[in-house]
Structure 1
Amino acid sequence: MGYIPAAALQNLKKYSYKGVDKSVLSKYVLNPFWNWFVTLWPLSVAPNTITFLGLCIVFLNFMTMIYYDPAYLTEKGGVVLPRWAYFSWSIGLFLYQSFDAIDGKQARRTGMAGPLGEMFDHGCDAINTTLEAILACHALNLGRSWWTVVSQMATLANFYLTTWEEYHTGQLYLGVFSGPVEGILMIVGIYAISGTYGPSFWDTGVLTFLHLTDAPLANKLPDLPLNDLFMVFAACGLGFNVLSSYRNVRRAMITSNKSTTWPILLLMPFVASAGIQMFWLMHPRYDDSAIINSTLFVPFLCAWGLQFAHQVGRMILAHVTSSRFPWWDWMWVWSLVAAIDANLPLLAGRAPLMQTSAANRAVVVYLTLAISLAAYVRFCTLVIHDITNFMGIACFTVRKRDKDGVWQDTTPAADGKKKV
């Protein structure tokens, strides 16, 4: 069973990427760097290879955190990561941003631009979104807290909004301040500061940091920690992005004489999926601990992130194939069952059926992680198979034209000859 209906395959040939980037930083600083950086890559390197290498760097950063802090405890919990780890995260994220920016340029250099690259790029971005949210909260000394949960939700919401907007407007819109540009560079800076002063730096009050504690009326203002202040800033940014995305979608709907109400209803799938995860996470403490206070916190967030990647992956697929918006995802059923089971003490006044102990709850969470990973891998495999077979291309192979203008596959065959 594939994800692309046979009737929608023909739309793949009609797809062309459209994007708008209004970032001044991107235009005058980063783009000149990216234009130079892409020239360092041989034309024999496929654009998807560059994208995947960027994601591998992020995985390496994530595994560094898991190695030194498997329980996901920041300095408040007695775990101190080596300072070089945060610097490596800073460099790794900057490289990811650079690789993510030049894969499209490499695709145009090699004549490989198309829907497969769009799918692959967004698929890697969806995974990176969760991993960076976890890493950033560790660097901000937030650790296992509701701030980390809110950060995860806000980050995923921003990604969903961008995908939702692209589906309805037909183009990727990056404003004067966007997550893929300025947002990433802010996190790069956070990692560097944590590497220099340690994550506990972010617990410093903003008035203390600015040396304003003795200023007039300072005693009437909250000395909000810098990490909490960053969360407030992120919430304001989310609100701004909601209004900006809706304005662009509304304009597109009016131009095409379509309903301006229906797109708003298509935001509900994210609300529903995030609500299920929060419902599970907020279960009553029926034993010694809850997910948010245990080593299950990171596996839970990763499972949530994989389910989200499956959800937005189907949205991008609907965009490139001009198909109906996917408002339903079967992965919700498993999480909803687990959430109801965990909340049975509240809903029915009885103990859970599956999560009867900390050990059993661990089994359910890790099983959810495994199922979510399997579902997303299956989605990626089937979509790549369908697109490459239909369009006669390969995911990690650059094709060249022969003298007659026919695309050739440069992958060596078993007999050592190049196959067509």
Structure 2
Amino acid sequence: MFDYKYLSKEHLKGFNKYKYSAVDTSPLSQYVMHPTWNTIVKIIPKWVAPNVITFAGFLCMVVSVALLTVYDFDLYAVGGRPGAEPYASEIPNWVFFACSVLVFMAYNLDGIDGKQARRIGVSGPLGELFDHGLDSYIVFLIPYTIISIFGRDPVFSVSCFRGFLTVLSVVMNFYVSHCEKYNTGTLYLPWSYDLSMWVCSILFLLAGLYGPEYYKVYVFGEVTFVQTLEVVIHGMGVITCYPVAIYNVYLSYQNRSGKRYSFLEALKPVWSVLVVTLLTVLWALKSESNVIERHPRAFIFMYGALFSNIAVSRKLYLFWSKALKSESNIIERHPRAFIFMYGALFSNIASRLIIAEMSHMKCEVLSWMTWPLLSGMLASLYMPQLEATILHLLVALFVLSHIHYGVCVVRQICNHLKISCFIVPKEKRK
């Protein structure tokens, strides 16, 4: 079942000559986190494999998502449920506190695994692939969990669609960094990564200590805390990630230090994630309520305001929220399934890009998952009575396919390198 060969002989040969190259200039990382991790790793037994630490961090995020799914399946649990008391929270505070601890543990374990690998001398392409492959899922799960802090109340929250846009913004920062590595051969870790993990943990911590109503406030004028956070999230990519990535790729051409692909080849990683993202957004917009045709000016103006980092007024915000909150819209009826579907798609595309950059191979133009997504979207639009069924079938297909892909690739590399993923060789334990 898990013996399928996803990697070609050329992929495996590329892994043989791969060398890790990364640049991390974040002050928080350099002066706080790395010294902390260097200290913590000394007390970890040498028989603990780095990939075990990596997987433990991933499981922390899975548990966090599971808790919030149980207590807040439809994202109404902190306000907005029809007929419920306004701004009432149905999630126990201990859940938020637990999520704070779990997110912070996931962050630290992700930093410690590499320290452990270098400490016992087992660094290699498998560890990096395992780490970054799971990171491609974690980077989606982080904003996915934050949505539960704010609920769906009509004043101090955002619609599920706008929550989905913030998820897109976060994962795109991750993807752009790996597009940058695909061209330069070096992973430039964005400053926003460490900062966002701290912010996420603190958001959950304060919600655990004071309840989620702590964030239901106006920051200035009629601009709410959530609107401000929304603008900051979008701004982090637009201001700090994208321009830096483009500049680093430009420098690699100038210094002849990168791979110096042609312009079209350099853009090759973009098309797969761009097409999948556009199809997913189009599905959300065209789902029965067809909001972009009913309110085109309002929707286009809202989108421009978001990505121009302009805080909208309360009246416009309420109008847009009403336009986007039709109960017939798929992302409003099944927000967790819809956003989770995109996360599985994104992680698979990102993992394939990571493999291409590590094996010095050209990445694929379009993911095979594009076609089931397109078919499912068209079928749901023409047969809206089957839309929920189609969505959940696609979630199952993409998640199971990605798990199969990940397990098979790890097994294939382990067999090629003659190593075990979760066991440290005896000679390295001393």
Q: Please indicate, yes or no, whether the TM-score normalized by the shorter chain is above 0.5.
A: yes
The 2-side partners of 1:398 and 1:24 are apart by 32
List aligned pairs for 1:317-336, cutoff 5 A: 317-336=355-374
TM-superposed CA distance for 1:93, in Å, is 0.8
- The correspondence for 1:104, drawn from 101, 111, 114, is 114
Partner of 2:274: 271
Query: Is residue 96 of structure 2 the alignment partner of residue 83 of structure 1?
Result: no
Instruction: List per-residue Cα deviations over 1:91-133 (Å, max 9, x = no partner).
Output: 1111111100011111112222111111111121111122211
Counterparts of residues 203-352 of structure 1 (less than 5 Å): 203-207=216-220, 222-240=221-239, 241-256=241-256, 258=260, 261-262=263-264, 263-264=266-267, 266-285=269-288, 289-294=328-333, 296-343=334-381, 352=382
**Change in 2 beyond 3 A, CA 1:265/1:289:** same
> Which residue matches 2:408?
382
Structure having greater relative contact order (Cα 8 Å, sep ≥ 6): 2
Q: Which residue is equivalent to 2:210?
A: 197
Matched residue type, 1:133: P
Change (3 A) 1:69 1:31: same
**CA RMSD across the alignment:** 2.1
> Is there any run of 5+ residues in structure 1 with no aligned partner, and where?
208-221, 344-351, 402-406, 411-420
- 1:313-357 Cα distance to aligned partner (Å, 9 max, x none): 0001111111112221000111111222233xxxxxxxx24xx42
Query: 1 CA distance for matches of 2:269 and 2:419?
Result: 33
Contact 1:89 1:191 in 2 (8 A): yes
SS in 1 for 2:188: strand
In the alignment, is the contact (CA less than 8 A) between 1:140 and 1:190 conserved in 2? no
**In 2, Cα distance between equivalents of 1:76 and 1:338:** 29
Uncovered stretches (5+) of structure 2, i.e. residues with no partner: 152-156, 290-325
CA shift at 1:223, angstroms?
Answer: 2.1
Is the 2:287–2:330 contact (alpha carbons within 8 Å) kept by the matching residues of 1?
A: no
Give the 5 Å matches for 1:61-210.
61-73=64-76, 74-77=78-81, 78=84, 79-141=89-151, 142=157, 145-175=160-190, 177-179=191-193, 181-207=194-220
- Provide TM-score, normalisation by structure 2: 0.83
Name the aligned partner's letter for residue 173 of structure 1.
Answer: Y
TM-score where L is the length of structure 1 = 0.84
Q: Separation in 1 of the partners of 2:114 and 2:9?
A: 27
Q: Give the Å deviation of 1:153.
A: 0.8
> How many residues are matched?
375
1:34 aligns with 2:33: no
Partners of 1:265 and 1:374 in 2: how far apart? 26
AA paired with 2:393?
Answer: L
Q: Which runs of 4+ in 1 moved over 6 A?
A: none
Counterparts of 2:268 and 2:247, CA distance in 1: 15
Distance 1:307 1:112 in 2: 31
Specify the structure having the higher radius of gyration (Cα). 1
Measure how far apart 1:150 and its partner are: 0.7
Work out the CA distance in 2 between the residues paired with 1:323 and 1:259.
12
Cα distance in 2 for partners of 1:206, 1:143 equals: 15
Matched residue SS, 1:267: helix
Conserved 8 A contact 1:151-1:231 = yes
In the aligned structure 2, how far is the partner of 1:65 from the partner of 1:102?
26
**CA displacement at 1:148 relative to structure 2:** 0.7
Amino acid of the residue matched to residue 215 of structure 2? W
Deviations 1:121-174 (A, max 9, x none): 112111112221121121144475222111111011111111111221112212
Q: Is the contact made by 2:160 and 2:335 (CA closer than 8 Å) also made in structure 1?
A: no
Q: What per-residue deviation string (whole Å, max 9, x for no partner) do you get for residues 36-75 of structure 1?
A: 1112211111101001111111111111111112222132
CA contact (8 A) 2:64 2:102 kept: yes
Partner SS state of residue 118, structure 1: helix
Is the aligned partner of 1:398 residue 2:401? no
Answer 1 or 2: which has greater helix percent: 2
